Amino acid sequence: DSGVTQTPKHLITATGQRVTLRCSPRSGDLSVYWYQQSLDQGLQFLIQYYNGEERAKGNILERFSAQQFPDLHSELNLSSLELGDSALYFCASSVITTGELFFGEGSRLTVL
Amino acid sequence: DQQVKQNSPSLSVQEGRISILNCDYTNSMFDYFLWYKKYPAEGPTFLISISSIKDKNEDGRFTVFLNKSAKHLSLHIVPSQPGDSAVYFCAASARNYGQNFVFGPGTRLSVLP
Residues B39-76 have pLDDT tens digits of 988 899 999 999 999 999 999 999 999 999 999 999 99
Residue A97 makes CB contacts below 8 A (sequence gap 6+) with A31, A48, A50, A55, B98, B100
What does the pLDDT look like over B74-92, one tens digit per residue?
Answer: 999 999 999 999 999 999 9
**Residue B98, pLDDT score:** 66
Cα distance between residue A101 and residue A15, in whole Å: 32
Question: Quick one: which of B86, B87, B76 has its CA closest to B6?
Answer: B87
Contact A105 B41 (CB under 8 A): yes
Residue A33 contacts residue B100 (beta carbons within 8 Å) = yes
Percent of chain A scoring above 90 in pLDDT: 78
Cis peptide before B113 (omega within 30 of 0): no
- Tell me if A42 and B106 make a contact (CB, 8 A cut-off): yes
d(CA B44, CA B96): 24
Residue type, B65: F
The H-assigned helical ranges of A2-109 are: none
Does A42 contact chain B (CB < 8 Å)?
A: yes
pLDDT of residue B97: 67
Rounded distance between C-alpha atoms, residue B17 and residue B19, angstroms: 7
pLDDT of residue A98: 64
pLDDT value for B71:
97
Q: How confident is the model at residue A104 (pLDDT cuts 50, 70, 90)?
A: very high
Chain A nearest C-alpha distance from B111 (Å): 19
**CA dist B15 → B20, B27, B82 (Å):** 13, 35, 6
Is A11 within 8 Å of chain B by CB?
Answer: no
Task: Return the pLDDT at B1.
Answer: 65
In terms of Cβ atoms closer than 10 Å to its own Cβ (0-12, 13-18, 19+), residue B65 is middle
Closest chain B residue by Cα to residue A40: B105
A59 vs B67 pLDDT, higher one: B67
pLDDT value at residue A40: 66
Q: How confident is the model at residue B5 (pLDDT cuts 50, 70, 90)?
A: very high
B94 or A12, higher pLDDT:
A12
Asked if residue A54 has pLDDT above 90, the reply is yes
pLDDT at A23: 98
- Mean pLDDT calculated for residue range A11-25: 97
Q: How far apart are CA A64 and CA B101, in angstroms?
A: 21
Peptide bond into A8 cis (omega under 30): yes
Query: CA-CA distance, B70 to B32, in Å (whole number)?
Result: 15
**Residues contacting A59, CB < 8 A, separation 6+:** A36, A44, A45, A46
Encode pLDDT of B99-110 as tens digits.
678 899 999 999
